C-alpha cells in the first residue's frame, strides 16, 4: 500500500535526521521542527486518503494511530 511506503520512509528518515542533527550541531528544537514537518506532511496525505494519523513518539519512532 502507498501509505505503508510513506510510513516506511518516515520511519527510515527519523534516525537519519537524528544523526544529521548530531553531526551538524543542529539544535534539538531544529530537529524537532524537521520531524514535526514530516509528521504534518504525512498526516495531510493520510487524511486525503482517509487513513489514521501518524504520531511520532518521544523516541521519534513513528506510530500509526486511529
- Report the Cα–Cα distance between both ends of the chain, in Å, rounded: 17
Per residue in 28-53, pLDDT (tens digit) is: 555 565 666 677 777 777 777 777 66
Cell matching residue 31: 530537529
Distance CA 42, CA 53 (A): 8
Supply the pLDDT for residue 61: 47
Supply the pLDDT for residue 55: 61
Place of cell 486518503: 49
Per residue in 5-22, pLDDT (tens digit) is: 666 666 666 666 656 656
Cell matching residue 33: 521542527
Distance CA 12, CA 21 (A): 15
Distance CA 5, CA 58 (A): 22
Supply the pLDDT for residue 53: 64
Domain boundary assignment for the chain: 2-58
Amino acid at each position: 500500500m502507498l501509505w505503508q511506503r510513506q510510513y516506511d520512509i518516515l520511519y527510515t528518515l527519523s534516525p537519519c535526521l537524528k544523526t544529521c542533527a548530531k553531526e551538524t550541531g543542529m539544535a534539538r528544537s531544529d530537529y524537532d521542527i524537521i520531524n514535526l514537518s514530516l509528521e504534518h506532511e504525512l498526516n495531510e496525505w493520510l487524511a486525503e486518503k482517509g487513513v489514521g494519523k501518524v504520531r511520532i513518539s518521544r523516541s521519534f519512532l513513528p506510530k500509526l494511530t486511529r
